Amino acid sequence: MSIFRKLNTLMRAGARESAERITEANAIRIYRQEVVDAENLLARRRTALAAMIATRKDLEREIDAAQARIRGRESEIVRIPPEQRTEELLLLAARDIASSEAHRDALKHRHVSIAERINAEEITLRKLLAEIREHRREVQILESQLASGGRAAPCNYTETVSGHLATLRETRAGITGSVCAQDNAEASMEEAMERVDGDPVQRELAAMGRDDASVHLESVLLRLRSAPTPA
């Protein structure tokens, strides 16, 4: 049994040594491919950044449209003489304005969040781009050293490549991890919002007309009731 264990150990040692020789012989190719993988990651993240910027612009247009709708509805009420502003008309207008304002405020909140993510992503991608450029230069330098040093350089050369590979892989892992963290944070926020929306206290307040939406509606209604007639 001891002989079989020794043979197994010997086979595993041989396989490891073969793998190490293959890795050393192809270290520069592995390093170059890691740089390419980092460039592909950069390209994907640039596409994602462009999508976030497009979303931010869409939100800005929606915010402007909601604000224009609010101003337009209020102008319609203001143009009506006070004695002709029925309670039913004011209530309908107040509901429409309150809904538009709630929608606008939600859009603004999303806009702030996406703007923060864009700023953070821009910083991350600038760092990644700078590091990729540095690694490209290192690949060229190491290729030149290997070509000029013949077979005398591989030992230090392999250690240098391993160090660069570790740094590059750490950067990629950190970027991927930050994306996962952001996604998890957003998922947690969505779950928290769902829990709040389903709060029984909020349902009771809504039935009493004292929830946030009802209070907001009442404030808009008061605003419309006291709106002056234009001269």
| Residue 118 confidence (pLDDT) | 92
Q: How many domains does the chain divide into?
A: 1
Residue 203 falls inside a structural domain: yes
Tokens describing residue 29: 């190719």
| Per-residue model confidence (pLDDT) at position 54 | 94
Domain contains 209? yes
What whole-number distance in Å separates Cα of residue 87 and Cα of residue 105? 26
Which pLDDT score, from 0 to 100, does residue 198 have? Answer: 52
Measured between alpha carbons, how far is 166 from 90 in angstroms, rounded to an integer?
A: 67
Residue 73 in domain: yes
In a domain, 181, yes or no: yes
Q: What is the pLDDT at residue 219?
A: 85
Domain containing residue 171 = 32-225
Q: Report the distance separating Cα 211 and Cα 202, nearest Å.
A: 6
* CA–CA dist 86, 226 (Å, integer): 13
Q: Would residue 4 count as lying in a domain?
A: no
Residue 157 lies in a domain: yes
Backbone angles phi, psi at 209, to 5 degrees: 75, 25
Task: Give the span between the Cα atoms of 186 and 164, in whole angstroms.
Answer: 34
| Among 215, 205, 210, 197, residue whose Cα is nearest residue 94 | 215
65, burial (CB in 10 Å: exposed 0-12, middle 13-18, buried 19+): middle
* pLDDT of the residue at 68: 94
**pLDDT given for residue 105 in this prediction:** 92
Tokens of 24: 């050393």
User: Does the residue 7 lie in any domain?
Assistant: no
In contact, 139 and 28? CB cutoff 8 Å: yes
Q: Is residue 18 part of a domain?
A: no
Q: What is the DSSP letter of 230?
A: P
Instruction: Extract the residue ranges of the chain whose pLDDT is less than 70.
Output: 1-25, 149-160, 174-211, 229-231
